[in-house]
Amino acid sequence: MISEKGILLIISGPSGAGKGTVVSELKKHGDYALSISATTRQPRINEQDGIHYFFKTKECFEKMIENKELLEYACFCGNYYGTPASYVYEQIEKNKTVILEIEVQGALQVKESYPEAILVFLTPPSMEELERRLVSRATETPDKIKLRLGRAKEEFDIIDKYDYIVINDSVKRAVDDINCIVKSEKMKAERNINLKELFYNLCNNV
């Protein structure tokens, strides 16, 4: 039996890279579980608490930090973002591929504490396309867009710390690429040490 334990799949990338769309499509393929992040930012139109994010006050979030209830957390553009830990580990033990859609600071925090995590950096094909996507969303002011573009450049500086880079010029192609990554990871020898004992016992019984 291949890979009896689940995989922690972290997807990061600049705002506007299409992470939300790609993750939504991934949930339709394979045995994925989406970890819901907690945040102190205000919900956007049509975002629901407990479905898209757990929306928290700053005081509540800082209490979660104090109680060590988060797998990782970071402050981005003036708001806290973090991953409640218990759900993630529970799903991994159920052989689920758990998707964490988090920014780069949090991703590297998780990788340090959970080295088996697979880091995927999702990026648009160019900075020009990234700016076009941010503007077309019409959800933020020009100053906020400028801030996000500046942050994107900082994120690109550390993509060498990621395991894989996926260019999102087509949602279908990006989803297919990530599915291939997960399939390949599940077949890695170090994730299937249990097979060594199985084959050993079979050989002894021959």
Strands 97-101 and 7-12: parallel
Distant-in-sequence, close-in-space partners of 148: CB < 8 Å, separation ≥ 6:
14, 15, 16, 77, 134, 140
Tens digit of each residue's pLDDT (9 = 90 or more) over 44-93: 888 999 888 899 999 999 999 999 999 998 888 889 988 888 888 888 98
Q: How confident is the model at residue 169 (pLDDT cuts 50, 70, 90)?
A: very high
Closest CA to 19 of 180, 178, 153, 156: 178
The CATH class given to the 7-35+95-205 domain equals: alpha beta
Lowest mean pLDDT across 19-28, 119-128, 183-192: 183-192
Distant-in-sequence, close-in-space partners of 129: CB < 8 Å, separation ≥ 6:
169
Cα gap 102→162, rounded to integer Å: 13
Cα gap 124→102, rounded to integer Å: 16
Cα gap 7→110, rounded to integer Å: 13
124 touches 169 (CB < 8 A): yes
**Across 107-130, average pLDDT:** 90
Helix ranges (DSSP H) in the chain = 19-26, 58-66, 85-93, 104-113, 127-137, 142-156, 171-186, 194-205
Q: Across all residues in the chain, what is the average pLDDT? A: 86
Q: For the chain, what percentages of helix, strand and coil (3-state, to nearest 5) are there? A: 45, 20, 35
pLDDT at 1 over 60: no
Place of tokens 């894989």: 164
Kindly state the greatest CA–CA separation across the chain.
71
Residue at 178: amino acid letter = I
% of the chain beyond a pLDDT of 70 = 91
Token pair in block for residue 154: 């900082």
Distant-in-sequence, close-in-space partners of 192: CB < 8 Å, separation ≥ 6:
2, 3
pLDDT at 161 over 80: yes
- Per-domain residue ranges of the chain: 7-35+95-205
Q: How confident is the model at residue 138 (pLDDT cuts 50, 70, 90)?
A: confident
Specify the pTM: 0.77
